[in-house]
Amino acid sequence: MEKFNQPEKYLGKYEVDNEGFVSLGDISRGLIGRQCQYVSRLIDGLDSEYPNLGDSLRFKNVFRDGKGTGNYHDYKIHKDDIEEFVKRAKEYYK
């Protein structure tokens, strides 16, 4: 996976880690306008009540195939997938 040597920010305000991931909580509140606990239900497809909007997008620390923390406070999304996920989530919440 690509590593980043210098600190970077997404949209000038969201911290990007050394693998290119941003806190889902920051994106949820800042760009979607919802708390992460609700947005997190849209990314893993584990709850049949909610659609899996995270399909084909890169996440970190999400419980998939027995890997990850399963704690939505730790969820991260890759900076290159944020725009698509935000678009999907906003469409869902319309």
Mean pLDDT by 10 residues, the chain (94 residues): 68 91 97 95 85 93 73 94 97 95
pLDDT of the residue at 47: 79
pLDDT of the residue at 52: 92
CA–CA gap between residue 21 and residue 41 (Å, rounded):
19
Question: Among candidates 24, 27, 1, which has minimal Cα distance to 13?
Answer: 27
Question: Among candidates 64, 74, 20, which has minimal Cα distance to 43?
Answer: 64
